[in-house]
A and B are shown apart, each in its own frame.
Chain A
Amino acid sequence: MSITKLRPHAVPPLEVGEMAIAALLSNKLRSGLTMLGVIIGISSVIGISSIGQGVQKSTEESLRGLGTDILQVMAGEAESGGISQGQGSVSTLTWEDAQAIAEQAPSATVVSAYLQRSAQVVYGAENTTTTVYGTDLNFPEANNTFPATGRFFNEEELDAAASVVVIAPTVQENLFPPNVDPIGETIRIQGEVYDVIGVMEEKGAQGPMDRDDAVYIPLTAMSARIIGNNSLMGTSVNGIYLKGEDESQLEALQFQAENILRLRHDIDVPENDDFRISNQADILETLNTILGLLTGMIVAVAGISLVVGGIGIANIMLVSVVERTREIGIRKALGATDSTILNQFLTESIVISGAGGVVGIVLGVGITFVAANLFSFAFVISGGAVLAGFGLSTAVGLIAGVVPARNAAKLDPIDALRSD
């Protein structure tokens, strides 16, 4: 016999993994508590980012439900003697403006003007505060919102300022018992009696506004009875919806509407505009930016708990190496190399953190699922977030394990065997 081969055999990773799991299982309570930091960190990162994405998706969907081929002209700053009156206070837009755009803007397919006021609505002993819209016949088409039962008011009713009202689902729910068909009933709006002629379809909350919590009456009726008509200036309105053929027409439509209004309002430079035109895409973009920023910030805070979890693992691993000094000596005496010992402890750290990560991912997905159902937003789990969560947790284990594992590998076999 003579010694020829002197390179020790490397223990395969799978077997090192088994050894690590066995070691961690031998002290379940400690392993579990050590994992907790990573579990909390990963589950909150996954949960919050998924909830953020879900809310974003739902908001986007419902905003798109209103149509992205729509522009909204809002009454703007009415400067009287240099004093700003605030947006929409004294309206600078009129029914006649809407008519002019409808006639003169080639790209406009649907034009609808509205007045808007918060008011109390009463049916029998029930009452609720809701948004009252006074509008014209084009409102359903402009907003993609149509009556589910009954009908919208017609031209005669608009011309006659008829006391008819179309209510939205939330108002129906708030005022009428489930067994009462609202159509044919009468409700009071600011004391005036209106006949219910239709109930709108449900649209879901539209981000900042809720189309389901509203009632619709003829613009003429609103102007005459609720606002008080200022006939000298025409019928003032709070806003005008403009619809183009499709999304690509919006820029042209906006340009046309701006020019028509500037001409009618005697405005020479855009800085003096007494109106503002916004489109859904802009609103969507702003909303997404805000939501994204908010989500990012909370995720960053959740990430801190991951760092704390990593410190916990490093701490326990350091203790574990000291406690198992004799084990390390024995293993070395039996032929374990420094790198085998290093791998063993590094693997333990990665396994404990990775396992915490997996539990955290499951928990985070669970939290998202429950929250999505509870608050009815889209349940979105991005594979990227799950992968990142798993990668992050193993990386935390790797970083946390480096120093303890190096301490273990560096131990002198004789000193280690002599410990205790």
Chain B
Amino acid sequence: MITLENIVKHYRLGDVDVPVLKGINLHVEAGEYVSIMGASGSGKSTLMNIIGCLDRPTQGSYHLENRDLTTLDKDGLAYIRNQYLGFVFQQFNLLSRLTALENVMLPMVYAGISKTDRRDRAAAALVKVGLGDRITNRPSQLSGGQQQRVAIARALVNQPSLLLADEPTGALDTKTSKDVMALFHDLHDQGITIVVITHDSDVAEQTKRKIHIQDGLIID
């Protein structure tokens, strides 16, 4: 599914190069359920943004389904994000102006799917995450757990190859965290490839493979 080889990422702060990722090698097979753990500031989000094609590595190669993504231009990366990747953020990142249904429809707008198909598929995705009765609610009318489930429905609606989640339970209480993790478990059982970042070992325990990152390097 994905293969990262010797991924290095530097941030430039003024005149200094700050190394954040120092040579990451990672391979994730289709259908895997992987957690990435590590202390705050260890580079988890930076790695996730590179895997999610939101950012480019300073060095190294990244293959998704045998295609070298480091050679793609901005539009190419946008296409990959839209068609192959689903992203779930800690802060949900829903558009407050739009209803749950419209939020879930958004990735399909950029995929060129017809309006009626969009509506049907978004509604089905919301039913799947248990929000079939909340499709016309705006984010402000939903609880944190419900908002995150809308975000998960949105991440899945274009049938991505890979679902990425950066601390998806970080803004949720214990009970709703459990609900969201149960949903991830279901999705894994349905064969979806999932990479989830967390610093919560309870969350990591539920995944099938745990990866630890420390100071920009994977340690085992």
Contacts and interface: CB of A to CB of B under 8 A. Distances in A.
A21 B73 CA distance: 31
Nearest to B84: A3
Contacts of A10: 112
Contact of A6 (B52, B66, B79, B109): B79
Interface in B35-78: 49, 52, 54-55, 64-67, 72, 74-76, 78
B111 A336 contact: no
A9 B106 CA distance: 13
A268 interface: no
B67 A2 contact: yes
Given A331-B106, A334-B82, A3 B65 contact: yes
A23 B93 CA distance: 17
A92 interface: no
A8 interface: yes
A8 B49 contact: no
A259 interface: no
Nearest to A3: B67
A11 interface: yes
A266 interface: no
B81 A9 contact: no
Given A330-B93, A414-B55, A7 B79 contact: yes
Given A331-B106, A335-B83, A417-B89, A6 B95 contact: no
Nearest to A329: B93
Q: How large is the interface on B (under 10, 10 to 19, 20 to 34, 35 or more residues)?
A: 20 to 34
A243 interface: no
Contact of A414 (B49, B76, B83): B49
Contacts of B80: 3, 6
A337 B54 contact: no
A30 to B, nearest CB: 14
Contacts of B81: 332-335
Contacts of B93: 326, 329-330, 333, 417
B54 A413 contact: yes
B99 to A, nearest CB: 11
B161 interface: yes
B87 interface: yes
A22 B109 CA distance: 15
B110 A9 contact: yes
Contacts of B94: 330
A255 to B, nearest CB: 77
B121 interface: no
Interface in A327-365: 327, 329-340
A248 interface: no
A120 to B, nearest CB: 74
Contacts of A173: none
B183 to A, nearest CB: 20
B154 interface: yes
A26 B75 contact: no
A15 interface: yes
Contacts of B75: 6-8, 337-339
A1 interface: yes
A326 B91 CA distance: 11
A5 B79 CA distance: 9
Interface in A400-420: 413-414, 417
B107 interface: yes
Contacts of B52: 333
Given A334-B81, A335-B82, A335-B110, A1 B89 contact: no
Contacts of B112: 9-11
B97 interface: yes
A338 B93 CA distance: 19
B110 A3 contact: no
Contacts of A413: 54-55
Nearest to B78: A337
Given A335-B78, A413-B54, A414-B49, A23 B97 contact: yes
Interface in A1-48: 1-3, 5-11, 15, 22-23, 26
Nearest to B115: A15
A1 B95 contact: no
A333 B87 contact: yes
Contacts of B89: 417
A333 B54 contact: yes
B144 to A, nearest CB: 17
B107 A335 contact: yes
B110 A340 contact: yes
10 contacts: A1-B65, A2-B66, A26-B97, A334-B82, A334-B154, A335-B81, A337-B78, A337-B110, A338-B78, A417-B89
Given A2-B67, A8-B82, 7 more contacts: A8-B110, A11-B109, A11-B110, A330-B93, A333-B81, A334-B110, A335-B107
Interface of A: 1-3, 5-11, 15, 22-23, 26, 326-327, 329-340, 413-414, 417
